[in-house]
């Protein structure tokens, strides 16, 4: 669940649609008072706060949240100067985004915060399973039909992202973030090469034809139904 707090309806609509497209559930607040009430009720995984809404503003709402929770907080602002960013970080925000922001970047920032939070709290599953694929996160090992398949660090992190949500399509930017590379230096051809190598290794071990490229968008594992075939 993602809590969006902004007094601008157009911004709320944009953020809601962007995150719902990525598969997130969303609740919205139009001011700080409503935000704090919904925060207690919904127990969100991430809070997205507008800095300059009416009192209490985003900075004050973040201060209140930090008194009782370390939930990831992403601040949205119209200004991109260093003093604004410093104020956001000083009150405990985890990230800072200057408007306007694209839907892809917003979704990527949210996914990053959730992933970091899960690692800190130990909520990540130690084993991911999809069809006859089994990934041990602690030992960084992939097994196909019980047979161990050797993956490079990049290949493991690439496949892990897809196995976390087998039916979801991940953008190329999200894959780049997961494998810890700069998008500037990760061309489409290079990502396709990584995907092809993973695919060959899994097929050679008797597994399905994964991962799957989605033209113009990115990659997905495959549907769970397809993995069972």
List, by residue range, all CATH 1.10.10.10 domains of the chain.
127-228
Sheet holding 147-149, edge to edge: 127-130, 133-136, 141-144, 147-149
Token digits of residue 213: 């490229």
The pLDDT value recorded for residue 165 is 80
Report the pLDDT value the prediction gives residue 21, as an integer from 0 to 100: 81
Instruction: Name which of 50, 7, 8, 43 is nearest 25 in CA terms.
Output: 43
Q: Which residues of the chain have pLDDT under 70?
A: 80, 120-125, 181-187, 223-229
Per-residue confidence (pLDDT) for residue 229, from 0 to 100: 47
Pick the CATH number of 2-121 from 3.90.950.10, 3.40.50.2300, 3.20.20.450, 3.40.50.150: 3.40.50.2300
Residue 186 CB coordination number (10 Å): 18
Instruction: Give the residue from 178, 175, 222 showing the smallest Cα distance to 203.
Output: 222
Q: Please give the pLDDT value at position 24.
A: 84
pLDDT the model gives residue 223:
55
Whole-angstrom Cα distance, residue 113 to residue 95?
8
Domain with CATH 3.40.50.2300 in the chain: 2-121
pLDDT at 219: 92
Determine the pLDDT at residue 200.
Answer: 95
Q: Give the C-alpha separation, 192 to 91, whole Å.
A: 41
CATH number 3.40.50.300 given to 127-228: no
Over residues 92-141, the pLDDT tens digits come to 999 989 888 888 889 888 988 887 787 766 655 578 888 889 998 878 89
């Amino acid at each position: 669940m993602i809590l969006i707090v902004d007094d601008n309806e157009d911004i709320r609509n944009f953020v809601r649609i962007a995150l719902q497209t990525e598969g997130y559930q969303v609740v919205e607040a139009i001011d700080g008072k409503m935000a704090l009430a919904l925060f207690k009720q919904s127990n969100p995984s991430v809070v997205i706060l507008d800095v300059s809404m009416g009192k209490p503003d985003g900075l004050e709402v973040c201060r209140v949240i930090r008194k009782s929770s370390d939930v990831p907080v992403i601040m949205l602002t119209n200004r991109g100067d260093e003093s604004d960013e410093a104020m956001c970080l000083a009150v405990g925000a985890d990230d800072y985004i200057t408007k306007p922001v694209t839907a892809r970047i917003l979704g990527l920032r949210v996914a990053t915060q959730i992933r970091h939070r899960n690692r800190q709290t130990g909520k990540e599953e130690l084993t991911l399973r999809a069809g006859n694929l089994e990934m041990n996160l602690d030992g960084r090992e992939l097994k196909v039909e019980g047979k161990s398949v050797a993956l490079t660090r990049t290949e493991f992190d690439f496949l892990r992202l897809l196995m976390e949500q087998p039916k979801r399509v991940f953008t190329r930017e999200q894959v780049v973030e997961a494998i810890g590379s700069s998008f500037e230096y990760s061309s489409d051809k290079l990502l396709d090469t990584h995907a092809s190598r993973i695919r060959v290794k899994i097929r050679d071990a008797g597994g399905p034809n994964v991962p799957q490229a989605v033209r113009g968008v990115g990659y997905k594992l495959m549907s769970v139904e397809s993995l069972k075939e």
